[in-house]
């Protein structure tokens, strides 16, 4: 039993370290340039992206003191947003950056979530600037006929642009510009799992999960607003808008097992890990990496 526990714990710790690899020795953190807007840092620009931006001097100033800034005349939300979007549309047509192939929602750009947005940016481009992305994730659960807690998990559609076919939370989605956290949560529940608004609105905001990772497409600082939603025992989610292809109602032991498998979307696994800790399915006396787990779920720049 000890070896099984250790193996599970090691795999989970490795997942958390991958999802926070921007902080690790040897990452691009030391070579990235700060992305500053109106005197505030809002992201990190990898050096390869900085070289592309240097061709658009009417929008981006030359790097100075380790930072890339916007030209002085871009002094409003709309001017900044439109100018940067124009550059991104041009770069997209050139096809040199694969992350721009999927054009989706616009995200707000601000130093902290509580700050006034300084501009908006196409979601698929945020990793090029290391701009923090916000999302909403819902842990759906209820009791089985024996009163045991079980969790609803979704399997992503095989046509999804990212992590096709992987296991996911009951409902989740990015926080688009101008849309509130609660509205996003209710909307995603309705669209992805056919959960009526009257039920979705009973979800409780319980936590945030934050991390920063990098890959070949850039830097990803992300913060997920986490909700717990206890569903009526007789309720079953249904496939809605095609983002999800199936739902599973699993025991907590089975959830824990699949959490460290290659089947799970990594950031969604972090959201479930947070649930397991908060509901005492993982405790400090029995989990050797308890402190590391908690720290790994709440890494911020």
Q: Do domains 2-23+133-296 and 31-109 have the same CATH topology?
A: no
Q: Mind listing the pLDDT tens digit for each residue in 29-82? A: 999 999 999 999 999 999 999 999 999 999 999 999 999 999 999 999 999 999
- Given this structure, which CATH class describes domain 2-23+133-296? alpha beta
DSSP character for 249? E
Q: For residue range 226-235, what is the model confidence (pLDDT) as tens digits?
A: 999 999 999 9
- Which position has the token pair 């714990």? 9
Please, what's the largest Cα pairwise distance for the chain? 66
Question: What is the third-level CATH fold of 31-109?
Answer: Transcription Regulator spoIIAA (3.30.750)
Is pLDDT above 90 for 5? no
Q: Structure tokens of 75? A: 């002094």
**Residues whose CB is less than 8 angstroms from the CB of residue 209 and which lie 6 or more positions away in sequence, other chains included:** 137, 223, 224, 226, 267, 270, 271, 274, 297, 298
Q: How much is the pLDDT for 105?
A: 75
Nearest C-alpha neighbor of 170 from the set 145, 213, 199: 199
258-293 pLDDT, tens digit each: 999 999 999 999 999 999 999 999 999 999 999 999
For 97-123, write each residue's pLDDT tens digit.
888 887 777 899 999 999 999 999 999
User: Chain-wide mean pLDDT for the chain?
Assistant: 93
**Domain boundaries of the chain, sorted by first residue:** 2-23+133-296, 31-109
With b for 16 or more beta-carbon neighbours within 10 A and e for fewer, the 17-49 pattern comes to eebbbbeeeebbbeebbbbbbbeeebbbbbeeb
pLDDT score for 1: 42
Distance CA 108, CA 80 (A): 12
**Each residue's pLDDT tens digit, 174-231:** 999 889 999 999 999 999 999 999 999 999 999 999 999 999 989 999 999 999 999 9
Q: Tell me how far apart the alpha carbons of residues 274 and 249 are, in angstroms, rounded to a whole number.
A: 19
pLDDT higher than threshold 80 for residue 255? yes
pLDDT level of residue 6 (50, 70, 90 thresholds): low
Token pair for 261: 């498998």
Q: Is 203 helix (H, G, I), strand (E, B) or coil?
A: coil
Condensed to tens digits (0 to 9), the pLDDT of residues 173-182 reads 999 988 999 9
- Chain segment 142-179, per-residue pLDDT in tens: 998 888 999 999 999 998 888 899 999 999 999 998 89
Kindly indicate the confidence band of residue 301, based on its pLDDT and cuts at 50, 70 and 90. Answer: low
The stretch 246-263 carries a mean pLDDT of 95
pLDDT at 95: 78
Q: What would the two tokens of residue 192 be?
A: 């992805």
């Amino acid at each position: 039993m000890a070896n099984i526990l250790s193996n599970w714990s090691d795999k989970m710790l490795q997942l958390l370290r991958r999802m926070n690899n921007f902080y690790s020795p040897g990452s691009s953190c030391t070579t990235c340039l700060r992305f500053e807007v109106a005197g505030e840092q809002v992201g990190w620009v990898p050096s390869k992206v900085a070289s592309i931006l240097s061709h658009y001097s009417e929008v981006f100033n030359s790097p100075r003191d380790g930072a890339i800034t916007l030209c002085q005349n871009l002094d409003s939300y709309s001017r900044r947003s439109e100018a940067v979007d124009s550059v991104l549309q041009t770069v997209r047509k050139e096809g040199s950056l694969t992350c721009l192939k999927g054009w989706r929602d616009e995200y707000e750009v601000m130093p902290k979530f509580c700050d006034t947005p300084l501009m908006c940016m196409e979601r698929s481009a945020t990793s090029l600037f290391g701009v923090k992305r916000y999302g909403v994730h819902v842990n759906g659960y209820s009791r089985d006929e024996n009163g045991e807690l079980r969790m609803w998990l979704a399997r992503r559609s095989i046509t999804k642009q990212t992590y096709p076919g992987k296991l996911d939370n009951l409902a989740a989605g990015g926080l688009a510009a101008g849309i509130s956290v609660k509205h996003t949560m209710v909307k995603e529940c309705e669209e992805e799992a056919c959960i009526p608004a009257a039920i979705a609105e009973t979800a409780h905001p319980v936590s945030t999960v934050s991390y920063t990772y990098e890959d070949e497409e850039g830097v990803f600082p992300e913060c997920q607003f986490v909700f717990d939603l206890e569903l009526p025992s007789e309720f079953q989610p249904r496939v809605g808008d095609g983002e999800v292809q199936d739902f599973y109602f699993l025991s907590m032991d089975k959830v824990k097992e699949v959490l460290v498998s290659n089947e799970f979307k990594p950031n969604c696994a972090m959201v479930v890990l947070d649930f397991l800790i908060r509901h005492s399915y993982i405790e400090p006396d029995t989990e050797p990496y308890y402190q590391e787990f908690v720290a790994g779920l709440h890494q911020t720049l």
